[in-house]
Structure 1
């Protein structure tokens, strides 16, 4: 379902907001606030209802609500004096008073144009000739997001799980991100690659774009790749943001009491990959994004089948679970920010502490979250984005 009102268009599935046909960047909470008002289409939305919808029932101040309302007004081209679109009903709540029309399942033509003009997909040849698909978006100094287990450049661009992160990283940077080999639009063939092959894929993307020195954002199993790259090419990495990562892969560290053994996990992957009702999807979701909305879960399951085959998913899981870069940590010279969810069940927080304590002068931030994949509706989302943007700004 997509919506139009005044001169604005809002598409929740693609997480896009346009005014006069042009994309407008809004923070995730502001997007949710506008959506909550749009869905009520002229009806009063109380502060309590906004808190339940946007802040998931958390205790937030009137000043916080007011700041988000002001940001929403700025996004739609309104202001607190005229209130031509968003009206304040003092002591009660807010109304979106512009007429709203909805498009059931049709999507919006303008966001498609936005996607074409804002994301450019190309291919880089890696060391063994493998073709690595990468995308460029945003404006500003370069930033590379390292490829990880589940990505698809085209689907990520429309995903309610990944698009908010892409927008946040590309707000002040030219963002380069790529599909890990074996997945997405990249070469699907996996011929026993080791960690250094994945490092070569990162280098291939940087070389293809003539990037001499740049910061890196890496999440989950992309973290060991980024660390090894920073060790091998210290002159090229200006900074590292490491989210939810590890130094020692799951298969090489002592098993936690509730860990699924590898044989069982691989069997579940092969049997249930991409099936919403399979035991694997339920188990994987509980580990990766337990607080996902139904829409986010649907997007996540769809991505599974179109991103990687069941056999490649299992093979990649075997490979990345054997990454080991602990000996590289003291050799990292780049400024580093380590961010980790404190209740992450996929990669335990102890691994985040290892990274932060053994990389020289690394800064450590723990998030109040249980989601391995960051979700924009979480209170911790804003903290993650703000910490990342502040760190990148500090690099100059």
Structure 2
């Protein structure tokens, strides 16, 4: 276990265990890699830290240039109101490196496992505000806003319930990760969670759900994140609503569901068997069959995680709708719409994802014109807090989203 110091300097509070920087008790937007660099400089504030040490500590295992380091230092200075000329907080030491020079006070010291952050529920600004809005066909959709800052909208994906997610060990880290200087907007799709029940699930209706949510949140243009089954929806929405989407991020996404992409008798038989096993699990609420689905979502995790996933699914949707979701998901095909996406797109995928093979990410990258692909080492369909792929995903996503913001001026 590592001792983690919470430090106050000027009007700022740096809280590494929560991954947040505050100014006058309000969150400050800062890119995750720059935040890590700031923590290291503050933690070693009694000396000059060489550029090589900073590159090694912050970009471990990656080959990057000193220009990348300089860019991260600029990002820190923008976040804390410093400049390369004033250098009130971070001093550039010619030919040697950098030093954090502001007066700092340790406000508390906590002990936390390495790489594990405290629950964001301890921060009052990160609490959910759950509301209801109505679609064009008068279906009520439950949606929530979490955090503060520029918006990040996440499409609904395979089963959710807004009031349960925050306490789930499967999803809790997503809130801490996605609300670093961002206001996260998410919702329960029709037929699950706190939204109205429905017996029909089509891509058009899912787009109506998302339209209703972003209208209710008064959003005109925003970045959109699609995870898993939310990926095809995000692709379709970006293609059909290009004026609204500034950037698109896809994690574990695909253009075609398993039945839609099956070629030949063998692949079709495998796709039908996969669907039938899951359907049998939902029909009889048979845990062993549903556990099979959990194993596909969390192939790199212990069996206990599969059981947590099974329990969560059973709380969020009726058996009938669980089956309908599975069948609709398996037949999704947005490959034609993917070619029409015009916004910059980041595609991130685990190399050994057992639910959606990495070939589907490559297909997306080939279909979407302005896209880039990042393959992570891992075996989970849904990224977990304790795997190295998780912080890598966050770093890639925040660096990508930061590109839409005005560049920093001078070091």
TM-score using structure 1 length: 0.70
Deviations for 1:287-318, whole angstroms, at most 9, x for unmatched residues?
11023356644432221111111221111111
Shift of 1:264: 4.0
Tell me whether 1:195 sits opposite 2:192 in the alignment: no
Q: Provide Cα deviations, 1:223-249, integer angstroms capped at 9, x if missing partner.
A: 111111111111110000001111111
Number of residues of Structure 1 aligned to a counterpart in Structure 2: 313
Q: Does 1:131 align with 2:137?
A: no
The whole-number CA distance in structure 1 between the counterparts of 2:328 and 2:246 is 28
Give, in angstroms, the shift of residue 126 of structure 1: 1.2
1:25 pairs with 2:25: no
Which whole-Å CA distance do the structure 2 matches of 1:128 and 1:115 have between them? 35
Cα 1:201/1:381, change in 2 over 3 Å = same
Give 1:77's aligned residue.
Answer: 108
1:213 aligned to which of 218, 221, 226? 221
Cα deviation for residue 278 of structure 1 reads 2.8
Partner residue, 2:255: 247
Cα distance change on mapping 1:378 and 1:86 into 2, 3 Å: closer
Counterparts of 2:383 and 2:126, CA distance in 1: 26
For 1:134-213, what aligned pairs fall within 5 Å after superposition? 134-191=143-200, 193-213=201-221
Equivalent of 1:225, from 233, 244, 247?
233
> Does residue 244 of structure 2 align to residue 236 of structure 1?
yes
Q: Distance in 2 between matches of 1:122 and 1:394?
A: 31
Change in CA separation of 1:23 and 1:280 when aligned onto 2, cut-off 3 Å? farther
Task: Tell me if 1:329 matches 2:360.
Answer: no
| Partners of 1:136 and 1:208 in 2: CA distance | 11
Shift of 1:252: 1.1
SS of the residue 2:142 aligns to? strand
Q: Secondary structure at the match of 1:227?
A: helix
CA distance in structure 1 between the aligned counterparts of 2:285 and 2:162, rounded to whole angstroms: 22
CA offsets per residue over residues 15-71 of structure 1, 9 Å max, x none?
Answer: xxxxxxx996249xxxxxxxxxxxxxxxxxxxxxxxxxxxxxxxxxx968x9xxxxx
Contact 1:274 1:304 in 2 (8 A): no
Give the aligned CA root-mean-square deviation in angstroms.
Answer: 3.6
CA contact (8 A) 1:346 1:372 kept: yes
Mapping of 1:1-396 within 5 angstroms? 25-26=18-19, 77-78=108-109, 118-191=127-200, 193-254=201-262, 261=270, 263-273=272-282, 278-293=287-302, 296-396=305-405
TM-score by length of 2: 0.68
- CA distance in structure 1 between the partners assigned to 2:251 and 2:216 by the alignment: 25
Unaligned runs of 5+ in 2: 7-14, 21-55, 61-104, 406-411
Contact 1:127 1:197 in 2 (8 A): no
Distance 1:164 1:75 in 2: 26
Could you say if the C-alpha distance between residues 277 and 312 of structure 1 is closer, same or farther in structure 2, counting changes exceeding 3 Å? closer
